[in-house]
Amino acid sequence: MENEQQLIERLKERDSQAFKTLVEEQKDRIYNTCLGFLHNHEDAEDTAQEVFITVFDSIDSFRNEASLATWIYRIAVTKSLELIRYRKRKKRWSFFEAVANEGNPDRVSAQDMFEHPGVALENKERSAILFREIDKLTENQKTAFILHKVEGLAYKEIADVMETSVSAVESLIHRAKTSLRKQLHKFYKDES
Amino acid sequence: MKKDRNIEQEVEKTLRSLEGIERAQTNDFFYSRLQKRLENKEEGVSRKWNPQLLVAAAAVIVLVLFNILTVLEYQEAYGDAETVRQQNLEAFTEDYLLEIPTIYELTDEE
């Protein structure tokens, strides 16, 4: 098993076998992270592939300031957030799109009740509600919460990905939980 | 009161619904699709000057040249008309002796 530094050197030499090793090692983590943000399998796969293309293209700019995995997570978070922003901008024109694509289901509303494949069956419905509410959090709170709850990263790892301190991550997750509690309370109150 | 307690319970259960979540997995074709995308991207770069792009560039050049020619022709035509008008005016002045002396000619006469 080669160490990370050797793998990076081989990636910089455009070694296709090294790239394949990297993809095989990281693909599920990156796909799962993207899925946590995007709630759509096609978008998550596309974005995960974009992440690896970026890694392939910019490996020369990798400076070893963080681990390779951290750097790849950072790219995945950035790309996922970019796509969400793009979709939000596009959503503003959804009225006109709905008129133009009469009869086609709206992709955004199809994502409203997203079921993550890794959630236990008895939690599917509740987690779908939770994912919808996570979408309403601020970008930083959402990132910290998803990396912790969906991808299972430790606070230190999240701090490295987000280029912030561990205490800042703790604070973000605490505020995310507080906001989610309020949002869910309102949701269930309105429903009953 | 009971209703509030139920809501609280639902909220807590929902917040805990991601506990024990398993990592979602990519499908078996992830790497081959990625490879294909990388190949297409490289081909795209090498085929930067594709035939469609060349036709479009040629059309733009022709359009620009046509515009330049139109402007030049217009200027030429307008220039000729101005010369004819000037010649007519001079001939008319000569015929009817309408030359107006300049201030220098008047001072010379004095």
pLDDT bin (cut points 50, 70, 90) of residue A175 is: very high
Task: Report the pLDDT value the prediction gives residue A77, as an integer from 0 to 100.
Answer: 98
At residue A145, does pLDDT exceed 60?
yes
Residue of B nearest to A178 (CA): B15
Min distance B6 CA to chain A CA atoms (Å) = 9
Question: What mean pLDDT is reported for chain B?
Answer: 82
Of A23-32, A39-48, A100-109, B96-105, the least confident:
A100-109
pLDDT bin (cut points 50, 70, 90) of residue B76 is: confident
Distance CA B77, CA B71 (A): 10
| Tens digits of residue pLDDT in A111-133 | 568 999 999 999 999 999 999 99
The listed range with the strongest mean pLDDT (A101-110, B24-33, B87-96) is B24-33
pLDDT bin (cut points 50, 70, 90) of residue A110 is: very low
Task: Report the pLDDT value the prediction gives residue B49, as an integer from 0 to 100.
Answer: 63
Interchain pair A123, B18: CB under 8 A: yes
Best residue of B5, B12, B26, B39 to probe chain A, by most A CBs closer than 10 Å: B26
Distance CA B56, CA B62 (A): 10
| Chain A residues touching chain B at CB-CB below 8 Å | 20, 23-24, 27-29, 31-32, 35, 44-45, 48-49, 52-53, 56, 116-120, 123, 126-127, 129-130, 149-152, 177, 180-181, 184-185, 188-189, 192
At residue B98, does pLDDT exceed 80?
no
pLDDT bin (cut points 50, 70, 90) of residue A69 is: very high
Q: Which two tokens stand for residue B70?
A: 């139109």
Q: Strand, helix or coil at B80? A: helix
Task: Report the pLDDT value the prediction gives residue B109, as an integer from 0 to 100.
Answer: 61
Q: Check: CB of residue A123 under 8 Å from CB of residue B17.
A: yes
At residue A85, does pLDDT exceed 90?
yes
Interchain pair A53, B13: CB under 8 A: no
Q: Which amino acid is at A111?
A: Q
pLDDT bin (cut points 50, 70, 90) of residue A91 is: confident
- The model's pTM is 0.73
Q: Check: CB of residue A166 under 8 Å from CB of residue B54.
A: no
- Comparing CA positions, the residue from B25, B18, B35 lying closest to residue A31 is B25
pLDDT bin (cut points 50, 70, 90) of residue B91 is: confident
Distance CA A168, CA A158 (A): 10
Distance CA A72, CA A14 (A): 17
Q: b or e along A147-163 (b: 16 or more beta carbons within 10 Å of the residue's beta carbon)?
A: bbbbbebebebbbbbbe
Contacts of A59 in chain B (CB under 8 A): none
Task: Report the pLDDT value the prediction gives residue A106, as an integer from 0 to 100.
Answer: 46
Min distance B27 CA to chain A CA atoms (Å) = 9
Q: Check: CB of residue A150 under 8 Å from CB of residue A116.
A: yes
